[in-house]
């Protein structure tokens, strides 16, 4: 099912014409209402009238996380205070929170985008949608919520945590969809197993998971553990929240709601645009947002764009799974390492759970790199022969993926901390040592 065929299945020319019209309006609106961005445009010698084609977007200056910090809390709001009806703030995974303001119109856009996402995941007004993203300043809870209400589903605003109660509601309310971070989905799947609940006893059809990077391997684990189809939902507070894009049944990238969010991929070093298919930093320009519009916002998320035809029928551009954030990238002994690469390796081993912790430190002027992983339930770290054989296979696979070795420590199942929101999987103590 498709929520808005006209937009989600528009032909290229129609979409591009609409994008250009909305871009021109956005740039003019931003120039007139956001003084710091006007200054940037003036410094770059570009005026709203210079935007004559979609490609002219490249003439416009970027907006960065630093711009948000410098204009904290509301310096980049474009609407009058009286028209702002809601604020959210980034969960502050990295750095200072970023405050976003929404007008009534913005909330409508958000509802529309998440409605498209939930419909893409097979949900409709007969569905029961259990939302276990955190409610509050974080956009996860209220973002999923506004979409669920827009499609007319029965909405259960659980918020995150209290796994036993989540399971009770899933059973008793016959929830058809479950929304939370992938790491919390895994925690709930383990909770089911512990309580001896077979996923087939539940009514779950779809999981709408996002807010943190996760691998295909993780998806398989969650789908098995919860007995549902898992969809990847992407978004960020600065742009609107979840619903910027959603994966479809093809699981080959996430369809971007490009009538509202115009994507570009740039080389984070040279800032030059990159062709489709090449990995770089994702940049978004909002089309139609009023409270907190963004022009060429550098997300720091790394992925690539795909424009080939998708079998689901949607014609919108897709973004590949997020590899990680440029800030998540660890440079260990000179080599770039993303936690998602480690997750991918771990997910290939049936002997391991997909929970892990990465420790990076410094000893004798050399980086240390340690990984803790859990053995699957039923396996024992005391079984020396088995563990040594496993160690050599895991070491080999990690070295193959990363190009450097890391010291692996095996733990018994269920010893690492479990996540209720965005998982913290890296402890890098090198900066502390430098000071």
Q: Considering the complex, what minimum distance in angstroms separates the CB of residue 311 from Zn ion? A: 7
What is the residue whose two structure tokens read 């440029």? 326
* Footprint (CB under 6 A) of ligand ADP, residues 196-225: 210-213
Strands annotated E in 49-144: 84-89, 99-103, 128-131
Tell me how far apart the alpha carbons of residues 221 and 186 are, in angstroms, rounded to a whole number.
8
Among 67, 232, 264, 290, the residue binding ligand ADP under the rule CB under 6 A is 232
Q: What Rg do the C-alpha atoms of the chain give, in angstroms?
A: 22
Asked if residue 298 binds ligand ADP (CB under 6 A), the reply is no
| CB-based contact 413:374 (threshold 8 Å) | yes
Among 286, 299, 353, 419, the residue binding ligand ADP under the rule CB under 6 A is 299
Q: Which does 232 bind (CB under 5 to 8 A by kind): Zn ion, ligand ADP, none?
A: ligand ADP
Tell me how far apart the alpha carbons of residues 368 and 92 are, in angstroms, rounded to a whole number.
27
Asked if residue 257 binds ligand ADP (CB under 6 A), the reply is no
Q: Which does 301 bind (CB under 5 to 8 A by kind): Zn ion, ligand ADP, none?
A: ligand ADP
Q: Among residues 106 and 232, whose Cβ is nearest to Zn ion?
A: 232
Residue 75 CB coordination number (10 Å): 15
* Footprint (CB under 5 A) of Zn ion, residues 228-267: 248, 250
Among 26, 63, 71, 90, the residue binding ligand ADP under the rule CB under 6 A is 90
Selection from 251, 253, 233, 250 nearest residue 242 by Cα: 233
Asked if residue 306 binds Zn ion (CB under 5 A), the reply is no
| CB-based contact 144:134 (threshold 8 Å) | no
| CB-based contact 282:263 (threshold 8 Å) | yes
Asked if residue 117 binds ligand ADP (CB under 6 A), the reply is no
* DSSP element (H, E) containing 363: strand 352-363
CA 36 to chain centre: 28
Asked if residue 301 binds ligand ADP (CB under 6 A), the reply is yes
Q: Among residues 229 and 314, whose Cβ is nearest to Zn ion?
A: 314
Q: Among residues 38 and 251, whose Cβ is nearest to Zn ion?
A: 251
Question: Which residues of this protein are in contact with Zn ion, per CB under 5 A?
Answer: 248, 250, 310, 312, 314
Question: Which residues of this protein are in contact with ligand ADP, per CB under 6 A?
Answer: 90-94, 138-139, 210-213, 232-237, 299, 301, 322, 325
């Amino acid at each position: 099912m498709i929520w808005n065929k006209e937009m989600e299945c528009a032909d290229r020319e129609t979409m591009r014409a609409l994008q250009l019209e909305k871009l021109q309006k956005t740039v003019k609106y931003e120039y007139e209402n956001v003084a710091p961005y006007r200054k940037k445009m003036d410094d770059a010698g570009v005026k709203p009238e210079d935007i004559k084609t979609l490609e002219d977007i490249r003439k416009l200056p970027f907006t960065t996380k630093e711009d948000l910090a410098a204009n904290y809390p509301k310096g980049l709001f474009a609407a009058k205070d009286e028209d702002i009806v809601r604020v959210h703030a980034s969960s502050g995974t990295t750095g200072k929170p970023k405050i976003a303001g929404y007008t009534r119109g913005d909330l409508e856009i958000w509802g529309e985008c998440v409605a498209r996402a939930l419909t893409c995941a097979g949900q409709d007004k007969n569905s029961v949608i259990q939302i276990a993203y955190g409610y509050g300043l974080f956009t996860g809870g209220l973002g999923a919520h506004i979409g669920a209400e827009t499609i007319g589903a029965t909405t259960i605003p659980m918020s995150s945590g209290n796994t036993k109660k989540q399971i009770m509601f899933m059973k008793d309310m016959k929830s058809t969809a479950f929304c939370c971070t992938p790491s919390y989905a895994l925690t709930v799947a383990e909770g089911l197993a512990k309580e001896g609940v077979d996923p087939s006893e539940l009514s779950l059809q779809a999981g709408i998971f996002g807010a943190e990077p996760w691998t295909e391997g993780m998806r398989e684990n969650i789908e098995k553990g919860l007995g549902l189809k898992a969809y990847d939902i992407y978004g960020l507070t600065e742009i609107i929240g979840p619903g910027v894009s959603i994966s479809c049944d093809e699981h080959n990238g996430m369809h971007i709601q490009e009538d509202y969010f115009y994507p570009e991929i740039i080389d984070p070093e040279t800032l030059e645009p990159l062709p489709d298919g090449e990995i770089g930093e994702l940049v978004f320009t909002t089309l139609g947002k009023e409270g907190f519009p963004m022009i060429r916002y550098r997300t720091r998320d790394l992925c690539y764009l795909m424009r080939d035809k998708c079998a689901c029928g949607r014609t919108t551009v897709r973004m590949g799974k997020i590899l990680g954030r440029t800030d998540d990238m660890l440079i260990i002994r000179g080599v770039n390492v993303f936690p998602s690469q480690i997750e991918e390796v771990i997910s290939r081993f049936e002997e391991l759970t997909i929970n892990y912790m990465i420790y990076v430190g410094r000893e004798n002027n050399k980086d240390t790199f340690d990984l803790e992983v859990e053995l699957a339930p039923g396996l024992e770290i005391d079984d020396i022969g088995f563990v040594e054989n496993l160690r050599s296979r895991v070491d080999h696979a990690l070295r193959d993926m990363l190009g450097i070795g890391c010291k692996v420590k095996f733990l018994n199942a269920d010893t690492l901390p479990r996540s209720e929101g965005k998982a913290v999987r890296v402890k890098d103590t090198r900066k502390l040592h430098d000071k």
